[in-house]
Amino acid sequence: MIRIETVNSPKQFSEFVRFPLRIYANDSPWVPPMWSDEMKRLDPKQGPFFNHSDAQFFLARDANGNPLGRIAAIKFKIHLEIYKDRLGFFGFFECINDQDVADQLLKTAKKWLNENGLIKMRGPTSFTINEQIGLLIENFDEPPTLLTTWNPPYYQKLLETAGLVKAEDLLAREVVLSDVDPQYLSRINRIGSRNNKISIRKAEINNIENEIDILVKVYGEAWNENWGAVPISRNEFIKLVIDLKPFLLPDCTLIAEYDGIPVGICVAIPDINVAIKACNGKLGPLGLIRFMMARRRTDIIRGVVGGVLKPYRRKGIESAFSSRVLNTLIGSRYKRIEFSWMLESNYRVHRVLDSIGAQTTKRWRVYEIDL
């Protein structure tokens, strides 16, 4: 017998947060979250998401009370204000390889969303499109990079058998830095430097909080025409920046200005997931030592953000960003850069990455179903 229960008590909440440990063995490519941060992020009293939206957590149990799976039903109010499409979301989906358990979890999430006035469900998103999103469906051998997801291959069958269908695919594209064509690099160097109205400056990392308004504005406006785009709240952006601040590279955390006006941002960050996995998501005294030692082994950079406001595109800013980042990384200890994630349908970005020789290395799928 499968029992679905609403997460209400502190004990249930702790079980919900730590349930993935029942799915992922130590030899899995999966990388745990930083557990103390994850507890705060999912706590309705502390998580920035709950300042503007709602979610309900559910656990599945067997007849003996053992947890079998989890899911969150998510009412993302900012999305609803923008799109007015009565769309809800599901996220934090983890499940044993049992179709009945998956069906019951998804049915419960759908019921909660429907009772809250919504008519369609999309996911997995945890919590929003600006956070972890999508179900990995290609390349299960490679570990996830920072802020991306990994899941068992059987999850795809669980969701599709339950009737969920593709809404959009998200791709990771990777460039081996030693393979970058010197002629290409020379060309983007020229393009990026010929417009004297463009200046690229390093963000003030030591005072990154002073850059928040610029970053939030450009991030919100540069992607507002993309599929499913929703601006990130200021509080959520501050939390993200503070979390990543110790790992930002000055020469890869850039702001573009055009005639002195901030019009673009570009951030590439070392993939610290290898360090998070080494300390198992815990920064106690021993965990901190493991984290710092493993961090030195990181040889991949993740291109997290790169965008330019629409009126200033095709003026050389994109080339200036590429030139600055590639010249910084080529010859450094970093061997590869992963650009992720990109919408499969964002052909403009894919044409640029094709010109660098980027290969598609991972694919995540976002699903939908009518309620």
Q: In this predicted structure, what is the pLDDT of residue 208? A: 76
Residue 290 has pLDDT above 90, yes or no: no
User: What residue has token string 């030693």?
Assistant: 178
pLDDT tens, residue by residue, 29-56: 999 999 999 999 999 999 999 999 999 9
pLDDT tens, residue by residue, 122-161: 999 999 999 999 999 999 999 999 999 999 999 999 999 9
Which residues are CB-neighbours of 144 under 8 A, at least 6 positions away?
Answer: 29, 30, 31, 136, 150, 273
Residue 216 has pLDDT above 80, yes or no: yes
Mean pLDDT of 110-128: 97
pLDDT tens, residue by residue, 299-330: 999 998 888 998 998 888 888 888 899 999 99
Contact 307, 342 (CB under 8 A): no
Residue 363 has pLDDT above 80, yes or no: yes
The residue among 129, 138, 152, 210 whose CA lies nearest residue 30 is 152
- Which amino acid, 44? P
Q: Where in the chain is the domain with CATH 3.40.630.30?
A: 3-170, 174-363
Q: In this predicted structure, what is the pLDDT of residue 368? A: 98
- Take residue 113 and report the two structure tokens written for it: 């969303």
pTM for the model stands at 0.94
Residue 294 has pLDDT above 90, yes or no: no
Residue 193 has pLDDT above 90, yes or no: no
Q: In this predicted structure, what is the pLDDT of residue 139? A: 95
- Take residue 260 and report the two structure tokens written for it: 């002195």
The residue among 278, 276, 270 whose CA lies nearest residue 298 is 270
Which residues are CB-neighbours of 185 under 8 A, at least 6 positions away?
Answer: 323, 326, 327, 330
Residue 343 has pLDDT above 90, yes or no: yes
The confidence band for 244, taking pLDDT boundaries of 50, 70 and 90, is confident
Percent residues over pLDDT 70 in the chain: 99
* Side-chain-facing half-sphere of 130: CA atoms under 13 Å: 21
Contact 169, 344 (CB under 8 A): yes
Which residues are CB-neighbours of 101 under 8 A, at least 6 positions away?
Answer: 2, 60, 68, 69, 95
Class of domain 3-170: alpha beta
The confidence band for 217, taking pLDDT boundaries of 50, 70 and 90, is confident
- Take residue 88 and report the two structure tokens written for it: 């809800």
The confidence band for 189, taking pLDDT boundaries of 50, 70 and 90, is confident
Class of domain 174-363: alpha beta
Q: In this predicted structure, what is the pLDDT of residue 364? A: 98
